[in-house]
Structure 1
């Protein structure tokens, strides 16, 4: 079994973001293999912990993947301020005599965005709505690399490292089985609030959960890397709960055409055709636009939005939401069947370095400064009595169950097989237990008594 087959069998997907099946990435050839250790969003601690704790494994996995891809260059990119993590990786590279570089990035958001990282490390700009592979690069984060290393030894993805930050006694990294209830994770981190809300992921692009039933139903998946515990009335939840109609009315009446949303947009800075201020300018005309050509000219730029949130959470002095407007218009472009042309050879703007969003100022704008300066040094293991394992933790089709209620399974055994057609990924049992429930969404396992 080669590396691609081992990774597919183990169910490895991108450990952050949307969960792109990793075996698809490894089916290609690339000039450069980039390891993303930049920890894109404020407060997140997971990748820093992994770099400090498993530097040898990260370097070994990076070398193996680079060799498999035929890459001439292997780079671990992380922020230059991560001194302990850099020291650990440099020591591992030296001891292992590995042909791996470290690239020190400035502290800005979104440094961990893969297209931004490719431009920073290689000088190449990924085409609009394209992939790093379009410019000869493959990017994986450190959590994915550790899962690849496990796959090389025949171990499936059954556990996840994630940080819990915010309204907790101390930020902490947890090691939890896939399917662990998020409430169990928060409890393990000792929350300082009895009634809290959550952001699953980072404060900029994460998924807000405010409804108690929704919080209690949510579980750890292969892509869960962080939980932000906050009061339910925090500014971030108030912004997230604004109805789309209110957002549209505000945009029509209050946009001052300062173009800050455009000038600070990370995709605009790497040469993509996205000018949110022009989209906002034309929004008042949108209800009466029946001609698809006119609609494309006014709103085609929206297709290039990456949903990073710089425009609405940092750039706009009026507190408007170009990101959500773009998201709404992207849906309308799809509904109308309008094909937006792609720029395949973008060039970074000459001021790309000067217009980066500083993470410390962004954190202040988000109302999170009181949680800064505290870092996770401990890792705690979570051992729940039961887990609910979703069949879809990745981009693409859900896996199909291969077990039945009443079956006894061991951690690492196949629970649901990847769909045969299109993108999908295998799903494995994360604890030794008995299958007590199977639904279209997933399977519940209860730990076996020993």
Structure 2
């Protein structure tokens, strides 16, 4: 079995992003491999824990991937403030592993964005609309590397459970575990009126309290944050696009702060959220004014930090972007698209601590216990699309006995990821988009 075949068989996807199949991403050669250990989302502690606990495996995985890619340089990018993790990595480095370097990065948001990483590590800018591979760079995150090096089917996920829970913790759970069970494993909620965010507070998705028992852990879910229902972040998620458009038309003051603090704009990309807002506000949406929305990475700085009026440039960008993409519009670089990095880029980075204060999350910024909890639920409901690509097709039937790591759904040769059972038990239900397994 080849290196890539092993990754495909294990069902490895990008654990820190949208779930792009890793065997496809690594089917290339690259000059530089960057392991993303930044974890820039506020409140999440998962990757830092994985680095501390599995430093040696992380290094061996990075070297194996680098060898496959024929990479000349292998870099583990990590925040400079994470002294324990850096020291642990340095202790595990062997004298002969000179091709692997640890690159400290400042504590700002979104330092973990792929294009920001290329800028921070290599002092180069990825062209608008392009991916890091266009610069000879492949980036993969810590959890993905460990999934590769363990050489076993991906059946569990380590998550941060934080916010309004009694015992914030790190927990290893089977994929398909319902989120309510995860909350109970963290001591239950502190309050009765709450909602949750899957992922981090900046880019995570809202999961209403009523949906927690019907929402399930996936391969890409690294955190679960509980917040009061009245918290501004939760309230923001309840806004409809029509409401955002009306607010933009009525109170946008064209201060251009959303543009001035935009990480992609500061990297030299022709992304101007204030111009998109202007075109929406005046009802004069043209291709020229709106196409820059295609470059938005949805980091949320514009709406959660920059805008003094509490507007939502990101949501409007995403709406415009979706409309353009549905119409088959793609970003095309021109000579004007290539701009220099903004001269004040280094002064406009958003410190993570300041961001946490602005978000109203300081009371939740606590250290979690060093121990890793585990949870084995009575049943799992495993989604068949936890990845970019097609739905995996079930290869089991109702009543089948399965064990942890057994293949239960496959994408064959299509784009996607293999799906495995995360429990020893019996298949109780097979649907088009999920498989339910009950524990023996």
Does the TM-score normalized on the shorter chain lie above 0.5?
yes
Distance 1:281 1:3, change over 3 A: same
Q: Output the CA distance in 1 between the equivalents of 2:219 and 2:424.
A: 18
What is the CA-CA distance between 1:335 and the residue it aligns to?
Answer: 4.1
Please report how far the alpha carbon of residue 345 of structure 1 lies from its aligned counterpart in structure 2 after TM superposition. 5.3
Q: CA deviation at 1:440?
A: 1.1
- Which shows bigger deviation, 257-266 or 327-336? 327-336
- Tell me the secondary structure at the aligned position of residue 144 of structure 2: helix
Q: Give 1:299's aligned residue.
A: 290
2:52 match: 52
- Matched residue, 2:347: 354
Q: Is the Cα–Cα contact under 8 Å of residues 194 and 209 in structure 2 kept in the other structure? A: no
Query: Could you tell me which of 197, 215, 219 is aligned with 1:218?
Result: 215
| 2:437 maps to 1:439 | no
Shift of residue 96, structure 1, vs aligned partner? 7.1
Residue matched to 1:417: 410
The within-5 A match list for 1:7-86 is: 7-86=7-86
Q: Distance in 1 between matches of 2:38 and 2:372?
A: 20
1:427 to 419, 424, 434: 419
1:198 aligns with 2:196: yes
CA contact (8 A) 1:296 1:340 kept: no
**CA gap 1:406/1:118 in 2 versus in 1, 3 angstroms:** same
Does structure 2 conserve the Cα–Cα contact (< 8 Å) formed by 1:127 and 1:346? no
1:113-133 Cα shifts (integer Å, max 9, x gaps)? 111111110112222222111
Is this contact kept in 1: 2:249–2:282, CA < 8 A?
Answer: no
CA distance in 1, matches of 2:385, 2:240: 28
Q: Is the 8 A contact 2:206 2:234 kept in 1?
A: yes
Q: How many residues align?
A: 437
> Are the aligned partners of 1:93 and 1:99 in contact in 2 as well (CA < 8 Å)?
no
* SS across alignment from 2:370: coil
Q: 1:381 matched to which residue of 2? A: 374
In 1, the alpha carbon distance for the partners of 2:401 and 2:194 equals: 36
CA distance in 2, matches of 1:163, 1:358: 21
Residue from 273, 276, 285 that aligns with 2:273: 276
SS for the counterpart of 1:353 is helix
Correspondences of 1:18-167 after superposition (within 5 Å): 18-94=18-94, 97=97, 99-151=99-151, 155-167=152-164
Which segment is superposed worse, 94-103 or 185-194? 94-103
Any idea what the Cα deviations from partners look like across 1:51-79, whole Å, max 9, x if unmatched?
11110000010011001100000000010
User: Which residue of 230, 239, 258 maps to 2:236?
Assistant: 239
Query: Which of 251, 262, 279 pairs up with 1:265?
Result: 262
Provide Cα deviations, 1:314-372, integer angstroms capped at 9, x if missing partner.
00111111001111111222344444423585542222211111111111111101111
What's 1:363 paired with? Answer: 356
Choose 121-130 or 399-408, whichever is displaced more.
121-130
User: Relative to structure 1, is the Cα distance of residues 193 and 74 closer, same or farther in structure 2, using a 3 angstrom cutoff?
Assistant: same
Write the distance in 1 (CA, Å) between the matches of 2:231 and 2:326. Answer: 34
Between the aligned partners of 2:204 and 2:429, the Cα distance in structure 1 is 29
Cα gap change, 1:339 to 1:13, in 2 (>3 Å): closer
1:217-237 Cα offsets, whole Å, 9 max, x none, are 111110010010112221111
Matched, 1:314 2:289: no
Paired residue secondary structure (1:128): coil
| Paired residues of 1:170 and 1:376 also in contact (CA < 8 A) | no
Match of 2:388 in 1: 395
1:256, 1:400 → 2: CA distance? 51
Aligned residue number for residue 292 of structure 1: none
Q: 1:331 to 1:443 in 2, by over 3 A?
A: same
Structure 1 portions without partners, runs of 5+:
290-294
Secondary structure, aligned partner of 2:30? coil
Displacement of 1:24 in angstroms is 0.9
Could you tell me whether the CA contact under 8 Å between 2:196 and 2:209 is conserved in 1? no
Tell me which moved more, 225-234 or 374-383. Answer: 374-383
Distance in 1 between residues matched to 2:253 and 2:369, nearest whole Å: 42
1:181 equivalent in alignment to 2:178: yes
Distance across 2 between alignment mates of 1:59 and 1:96: 12
Alpha-carbon displacement from aligned partner over 1:242-280 (angstroms, at most 9, x marks no partner): 122221111112111111111110111111110011111
The farther-off stretch of 225-234 and 53-62 is 225-234
Root mean square deviation, CA, Å: 1.6
